[in-house]
Copies of this chain bind each other. A is one copy, B any other.
Amino acid sequence: MSQFQIPVAVLGATGSVGQRFVSLLENHPWFKVVALAASDRSAGQKYSQAAHWVLDTPMPAYARDMVVVPASTETVDAKIVFSALHTEVANELEPQFAKAGAAVCSNASSYRRGADVPLLLPEVNADHIRLIERQRENKNWRGCIVANPNCTSTGMTVALHVLHQAFGVKKVFATSLQALSGAGYPGVSSLDIMDNVIPNVANGGEEEKVEWEPRKMLGKLNDGKIELADIQFSVHANRVGVIDGHTVCVSAALNQPVEPQTAIEALRDYAAPPSARELPSSPRPVIEVKDEADRPQPRLDRLTGNGMTTVVGRVRKDPIFDLKFVVLSHNTIRGAAGASIYNAELLTNEGLL
Q: Which residues of B contact A304 (CB under 8 A)?
A: 58
Against B, the Cβ 8 Å flags (1 = close, 0 = not) of A248-280 are 010100000000000000000000000000000
CB contact between A187 and one of B189, B295, B298 (< 8 Å): that residue: B189
In the complex, how many angstroms separate the beta carbon of A191 from the nearest chain B beta carbon? 5
In the complex, how many angstroms separate the beta carbon of A331 from the nearest chain B beta carbon? 12
Bound-state CA distance A303–B234 (Å) is 30
Q: Is the CB of B56 within 8 A of A171?
A: no
In the complex, how many angstroms separate the beta carbon of A238 from the nearest chain B beta carbon? 6
Q: Does A319 contact B (CB under 8 A)?
A: yes
Q: Is the CB of A197 within 8 A of B247?
A: yes
Q: Which residues in window 165-201 of A have CB below 8 A to B?
A: 171, 173, 175, 177, 180-181, 185-200
Interface centre among A56, A195, A294 (most CB of B within 10 A): A195
Q: Is the CB of B189 within 8 A of A186?
A: yes
CB contact between A188 and one of B189, B233, B313 (< 8 Å): that residue: B189
Q: Is the CB of B242 within 8 A of A173?
A: no
Q: Which residues of B contact A1 (CB under 8 A)?
A: none
Against B, the Cβ 8 Å flags (1 = close, 0 = not) of A22-66 are 000000000000000000000000000000011111100000000
